[in-house]
Amino acid sequence: MNEIHSIRAYERYAGKETIRRIEAKARPLQDMRVLHMNSTYYGGGVSQLLASLTLMMNGLGIRTGWRVVHGPPDFFSVTKKFHNALQGAEINMTDRKKAIYERVIHENAIRNHLDHDVVFVHDPQPLPLITHYRKKSPWVWRCHVDLTAPNAEVWNYLAPFIERYDAVILSCKEYRQDLATPQVTFLPAIDPLSIVNRDLSESAIDERLAHYSIPTDLPLVVQISRFDRWKDPEGVLQAFELARKKEECTLVLVGNVATDDPEGAEVYRSLLSHRGERVIILSVQDGALVNALQRRAAVVLQKSIREGFGMTVSEAMWKGAAVIGGDVGGIRYQIQDGVNGFLV
């Protein structure tokens, strides 16, 4: 049965004093109407974060909603290209792409009647929404991607939208850009009471792994991530083949194809030829499986080329797993190389 935890359920992790301080800060905000807007209810770290955060905010008396932008495949194809370009990829920036992007956002603005005290817009997909409302309250853009070296062409196009916001929240200080809008940094966090992170018995771990026919006779090497080229699944496969020359083990790649990522299915299909007895590749949305794998793994990888934060790193470390992560973005804020994991 699903459980909705009150803020006080987190006392054992954060301490009573911290929880009381949160409650005191929330008291003047009770009955405030807050909206979070992103592009998908599942798949990836943003939706996982919002799933917990919106329930927690409502539990504190802050009336918090969560909506997603809707659009046809060509809209999400464009926004994925924008996402990639914000992380440094090349892009052919055409008027057609801009027209698709702006038209679909305009359609979403017509459907969404926003009358909130604060609006949080997450990532580039819903970014231009702000241009379609008579702004009577603060709007905040929360960017979860790695802005270390954004493509100049896409940045110059998106920056005027960003500068309409009252504030920008970034995950790391390295992502700050030359903007008129105030920028603050705020690291994301995992939810220790979510299905992905709650305690699991050994028998529950065994059941999940058996359900997916994952062998446990050899050490498990695991990567959990969206099927995305920025997560470097091909590099994971190459590293695994090198490791097997010294130690027999089993690789498990688990991901999902988010509704706002049209490239995900293509990346997943490109990996299937590598499947074998010791290479298991699964596209599933199963938090309990993720939990079980991170607890049973000999090594958890997050071999990202770019990474806004990478909550799967914190998830694995929370469970005491040995973690190897890419030496990029938000992963550097979680792993101290050689102390609690390794950066590569």
Please, where are the H alpha helices in 37-174? 45-59, 73-86, 95-111, 152-162
Show the tokens assigned to 30.
Answer: 């009770």
Tell the residue number behind the tokens 């709007």, with chain if given: 139
Say whether pLDDT at 1 is over 50. Answer: no
In this structure, are residues 101 and 74 in contact, taking their beta carbons and an 8 Å threshold? no
Q: What domains can be seen in the chain, in order of their start residue?
A: 7-185 (3.40.50.2000), 202-343 (3.40.50.2000)
Residue 99, Cα to own-chain centre: how many angstroms? 27
Show the tokens assigned to 155.
Answer: 């940045």
Which of 111, 13, 10, 94 lies closest to 59, judged by CA? 10
Q: What is the pLDDT of residues 193-203, one digit of tens each?
A: 999 999 999 99
Say whether pLDDT at 259 is over 80. Answer: no
Q: How confident is the model at residue 264 (pLDDT cuts 50, 70, 90)?
A: confident
Instruction: Report d(CA 12, CA 157) in Å as an integer.
Output: 46
Confidence (pTM): 0.92
Report pLDDT for 3.
Answer: 54
Q: What is the pLDDT of residues 109-163, one digit of tens each?
A: 999 999 899 999 999 999 999 999 998 899 999 999 999 999 999 999 999 999 9
Instruction: Report d(CA 29, CA 63) in Å as an integer.
Output: 9
Q: How confident is the model at residue 2 (pLDDT cuts 50, 70, 90)?
A: very low
Q: What is the pLDDT of residues 294-321, one digit of tens each?
A: 999 999 999 999 999 999 999 999 999 9
Report pLDDT for 45.
Answer: 86
Report pLDDT for 4.
Answer: 64
Average pLDDT over residues 87-93: 96
Average pLDDT over residues 263-277: 91
**Which carries the bigger pLDDT value, residue 14 or residue 44?**
14
Coil vs helix vs strand at 312: helix
Tell the residue number behind the tokens 């009647």, with chain if given: 113
Q: What is the pLDDT of residues 153-192, one digit of tens each?
A: 999 999 999 999 999 999 999 999 999 999 999 999 999 9
Share the mean pLDDT of the chain: 95
Q: What is the pLDDT of residues 19-28, one digit of tens each?
A: 999 999 999 9
